[in-house]
Structure 1
Amino acid sequence: MSPWIYVASLSDYVAGRLHGEWIAADQNPEDIGAEVTAMLAASPEPYAEEWAIHDHDGFDGIEIHEYDSLETVAALAQLVTEHPPEVVGYLRGEGLEPEDIAEAIEDRFCGVHDSLADYACEWIDDVGDLPEVYRNYRWSIAQAMAHDWEVGGEYTTVRTSEGLAVLANV
């Protein structure tokens, strides 16, 4: 589902009327702004100029605040359409701004796996120099590595609808 915001005219709200519009958030801020301006122009209130975000959908748990800038909303919408929303929400919860979230995903995101041990198996396979004598024990080694990574804080995992997202903490 695409991310949407419901933008309401505050003049209408104060006058006891609900006047607003659902706007697709996965577009550039200027286009969102143009739709907000058109919504305000269609208001029955003569001086409708102020607006607020009263609802949102499709951001999968990421909180969109009443007065978030259209730049922030558009950036978050773009991120949740390109990456697991749960990962975007987790990084937003770390206090990161959208541009920092994009950078953190590029630097830290190791993909979605069934478990941290499955990621460790892939890591072992990618390294590719596990001695032949240990190849039969690859899964046990991966489980031990996953345990050490988790206890040592080297990786963070985030449950997503697709599996377990792995983020490096380096």
Structure 2
Amino acid sequence: MCEPRIYVADLAAYNNGKLHGVWIDAALELDDIQDAVAKMLKASPEGFAEEYAIHDYEGFGSYRVSEYEGLESVHEVACFIEEHEELGAELLAHFSSIDEARTDIDENYAGCYESVADFAEELTEDSVQIPESLARYIDYNAMAYDMEVGGDIFTIELGHREVHIFWSR
């Protein structure tokens, strides 16, 4: 996954059929992002320009950046994605706010497993002593299914045998 960055376009130029903008690393300090936008606007081919919009972005995974999303918000999202990588981007796409995503990863993250059945097995074996004579009768796939369908957990699958599990508290 590439670094989160945004393409900020000069709207005065855009509205007059000219492309003028700049790609900016969205994880830079907020002041540096604002300075880069101000510098781009100052160099506008339309003379005096003061309005801008985000016309493109990359490195945000499934998270969708709005054209008029504030720079502070984009910066906060980019920093979260840099910290948590693809998992962070998928969490942001899942939730309606960065606060919810941050809370979920801090308080409800159960870990990464090859499958939900592996999670159910580990949870069971860590919780109770299973007699050897009964161990082969436990259906961890059925337990995993019940956990997902019952709403006890939600999962984010990032690849083959890479399932991130969160408690649904």
- TM-score, structure 2 normalization: 0.86
CA RMSD, 1 decimal: 2.3
SS at match of 2:106: helix
SS at match of 1:112: strand
Identify which of 135, 138, 149 aligns with 1:137. 135
Confirm or deny: 8 A CA contact 1:114 1:164 kept in the other structure. Answer: yes
SS at match of 2:159: coil
SS at match of 2:18: coil
Displacement of 1:151 after TM fit?
A: 2.4
2:106 paired residue number: 106
Matches within 5 A, 1:1-170: 1-86=2-87, 88-95=89-96, 97-127=97-127, 129-131=128-130, 133-134=131-132, 137=135, 140=138, 142-161=140-159, 163-170=162-169
5+ long unaligned stretches in structure 2? none
Displacement of 1:25 after TM fit?
A: 0.8
Q: Kindly tell me: are residues 142 and 34 of structure 1, through their superposed partners in 2, closer, same or farther at Cα, counting changes over 3 Å?
A: same
Q: Paired residues, what number?
A: 167
- TM-score, structure 1 normalization: 0.85
